[in-house]
Structure 1
Amino acid sequence: MGLFRRNQVAKPQDRRVATRYSVDCAATLKMLGGDRHGRLSDLSEAGARLDTPTPPSEGVSGLLSWNGHEHFGKVVWANERSCGLVFERPLPQSVIDQTVDTVEVPSGPVANFGNIPLGQRRSRRASLVSEG
């Protein structure tokens, strides 16, 4: 019964063939038209995502530099705050592992000590809770 046969709909295939890793480190895209500084937020052996206030246009090629690594790639998409790059050659897994394992710690004081009142008693309720 050909009339009642279900039509097989082809499932859309995922374009990505490599595992993507969420990362957060400083990066620079070096191009002939000028460098773009930002944060690397996504990395795989095939490409990366760079978050930057002024992303380059689609089709621009450049050298992505981060944590002592450099890799040549091409911008394949861009929006107001980020761009996606495809690498010319696959990124070695060891470079991905080093990037994923690196955790950047912001430098500077955690709090402005001038804003902490010294010598003042806590509220009565807070002192009752701590005594009880």
Structure 2
Amino acid sequence: MALFQKLPTMNAEERRTVQRYSVDCEAKLKMLGGDRDGRLSDLSEAGARFETDNPPQEGVSGLLAWRGHEYFGKVVWANEKSCGLVFERPIPHKIVAETCEVVEVQAGPVANFGNIPVAKRGRRASLVSSQD
């Protein structure tokens, strides 16, 4: 009888129990050590991805605020430009859906097909046509 059995490893996708949604809106992470301004890039009932220039370290707790909503969570991972938070309690699906409905998109010029250069026939195309 083994007291300590190695459990099969699961990837992050298998561990998630709720659907994540891509979002793009301004947000703020309020912490005892100081606030961080940034953007939400994905959101679920269980947590969020917060993008900022100076993400807090793993283990830090704070209040994530966006569009009039505030939810307490803990940073469970961090890299150079973003961090992942798990909410203390699941947030209502209505809030997730409401946040997903309004995606801030920066307007930019639409591609003009007249400005796209036409590819020149390559060497291979020249060889094929000369053999014909």
Calculate the TM-score normalised by the size of structure 2: 0.70
Aligned pair count reads 101
1:19-55 deviations in whole A, cap 9, x for unaligned? Answer: 0000000000000000011010010000000010000
Distance 2:44 2:57 in 1: 21
Q: Percent identity?
A: 66
Distance 2:103 2:32 in 1: 30
Distance 1:53 1:31 in 2: 15
Structure 2: tracts of 5 or more residues without a match = 1-7, 110-132
SS of match in other structure, 2:16: coil
**Residue in 2 aligned with 1:75?**
75
Q: Trace 1:1-132 onto structure 2 (pairs within 5 A).
A: 12=10, 14-104=14-104, 106=106
Distance 2:80 2:64 in 1: 19
Structure 1: tracts of 5 or more residues without a match = 1-9, 112-132
Please tell me whether Structure 1 or Structure 2 has the larger radius of gyration of its CA atoms: 1
1:73-118 deviations in whole A, cap 9, x for unaligned? Answer: 00000000000000000010000011000132559xx79xxxxxxx
Q: What letter is aligned with 1:85?
A: L
C-alpha deviation, 1:11, in angstroms: 7.3
Calculate the TM-score normalised by the size of structure 1: 0.70
Q: What letter is aligned with 1:86?
A: V
